[in-house]
């Protein structure tokens, strides 16, 4: 049995975070690949893509196994430093967390929510555009993101659930 030294563990952690960031970055391009697969691939490939899209749009939900996998990969360690700055102690409920930087199809805030247990238990509100992107939206759904509009955003606030606000089009 070989025991890994600190140097070996650092290399392994770097590889894990690189893999995590690579998967996160793939979320940007998967939505662009889907039409190509549907147009140029054979019947079996098209059928698989269509079944995945049906699953994404009608059945997919937050997947704790997928979230634990990303927590294990630690994609946020790809950067020199990652901080979550809270200006005050968190209330038990009715908190809204704003996240910056953001964009329509970024996974950075979903990865960052894995750093903090309170944020990990939040509802992650994202643009509905992100949620409908083919395949990219599936990863977002598995990470726990929910598309937001004015009606369900108000309902979440009434329920007193912590919200991690990413980007909202009202």
- Asked if residue 151 is part of any domain, the answer here is yes
Tell me, yes or no, whether 114 lies in a domain.
Answer: yes
Residue 143 within any structural domain of the chain: yes
Q: Indicate whether 3 belongs to any domain.
A: no
pLDDT tens digits along 77-90: 777 766 666 677 76
Is the pLDDT at 168 greater than 50, yes or no?
no
Highest mean pLDDT among 59-73, 90-104, 124-138: 59-73
Is residue 139 within 8 Å of residue 122, measured between CB atoms? no
What is residue 16's DSSP assignment? Answer: H
Residue 5 lies in a domain: no
Domain, as residue range, for 159: 11-165
Assess if residue 115 is contained within a domain.
Answer: yes
In a domain, 42, yes or no: yes
CA dist 100 and 82 (Å) reads 12
Whole-structure pTM value: 0.74
Question: How many structural domains are present in the chain?
Answer: 1
**Using one digit for the tens of pLDDT, what is the confidence trace for 106-163?**
566 677 777 766 666 677 777 787 788 888 888 888 888 887 778 877 887 777 766 6
How do residues 18-47 score in pLDDT, each as one tens digit? 888 787 777 777 778 888 888 888 888 889
pLDDT band at 93 (very low <50, low <70, confident <90, very high): low
DSSP 143: T
Which of 82, 79, 76 minimizes the C-alpha distance to 107?
A: 76
């Amino acid at each position: 049995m070989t025991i890994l030294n600190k140097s070996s563990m650092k290399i392994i952690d770097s590889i894990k975070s690189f893999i995590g960031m690579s998967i996160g970055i793939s979320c940007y391009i998967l939505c662009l690949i889907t039409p190509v697969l549907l147009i140029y691939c054979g019947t079996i490939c098209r059928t698989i893509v269509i079944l995945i899209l049906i699953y994404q749009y009608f059945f997919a939900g937050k997947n704790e196994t997928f979230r634990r996998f990303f927590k294990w990969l630690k994609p946020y360690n790809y950067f020199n430093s990652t901080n979550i700055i809270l200006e005050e102690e968190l209330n038990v409920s009715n908190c809204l967390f704003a996240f910056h930087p953001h964009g329509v199809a970024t996974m950075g805030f979903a990865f960052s929510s894995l750093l903090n247990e309170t944020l990990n238990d939040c509802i992650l509100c994202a643009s509905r555009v992100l949620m409908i992107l083919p395949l990219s939206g599936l990863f977002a759904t598995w990470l726990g993101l929910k598309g937001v509009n004015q009606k369900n955003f108000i309902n979440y606030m009434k329920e007193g659930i912590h919200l991690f606000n990413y980007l909202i089009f009202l």
